[in-house]
Amino acid sequence: MSDQTKSPDTSAKSPALSVEANEYKQIASKHEPSRPVFKNCIRAFLVGGTICLIGQCIQQAFVSGFHMTQKDAASPTVAVLILASVILTCFGVYDKIAQFAGAGSAVPVTGFANSMCSAALEHRAEGLVLGVGANMFKLAGSVIVFGVVAAFIIGVIYACLGFGGYHL
């Protein structure tokens, strides 16, 4: 065969295409948009604090309006926060709050209710059992299992140390 009929050498890399990992990271970091970390922290703090402040106001309303103790008002306060979170999720408002606040909207009670409600809304077309139930509890299942296991371990520790009036 002559040199003209040979296929081009594909083993030699073109200098324009060979980029080392470090070079790639440098190039990518130049084009990556900067993140306003301080601004995001302020937003998260303000929105998370506002959610907690609303919860405290709801609890105080139960204490003064229904003559409950702080301990008795805790459960209905959590229920109202969950209900408000679910309603705001259904209308698409909570998602806009989450986009603005980032991690600040992940206050445990409202953030968890939002994630469960979002999963239920997203998969409702697939049916109640295999759509809503199965997908809603993908997240909730792991959280519930972790909570139960953690509570059991803490309970055993408390029992061994003699807290709560029970001794082993």
Q: At residue 129, what is the residue type? A: V
Instruction: Please tell me the predicted confidence (pLDDT) of residue 104.
Output: 87
* DSSP one-letter string for 41-99: HHHHHHHHHHHHHHHHHHHHHHHHHS---HHHHHHHHHHHHHHHHHHHHHTTHHHHHHH
Instruction: Please tell me the predicted confidence (pLDDT) of residue 160.
Output: 86
Instruction: Please tell me the predicted confidence (pLDDT) of residue 66.
Output: 95
Q: Do 96 and 116 contact (CB within 8 A), yes or no?
A: no
**pTM: predicted TM-score of the whole model, two decimal places:** 0.66
Q: At residue 24, what is the residue type? A: Y
Q: At residue 37, what is the residue type? A: V
**Residue with tokens 């296929």, as numbered in its chain:** 7
Residue 118's CB: how many other CB atoms inside 10 A? 19
Instruction: Please tell me the predicted confidence (pLDDT) of residue 44.
Output: 93
Residue-by-residue pLDDT tens, the chain, 168 positions: 445 555 555 555 555 556 688 888 888 888 888 889 999 999 999 999 999 999 999 999 999 999 999 999 999 999 999 999 999 999 999 999 999 998 888 887 888 888 888 888 888 788 888 788 777 777 777 778 888 899 999 988 888 887 765 555
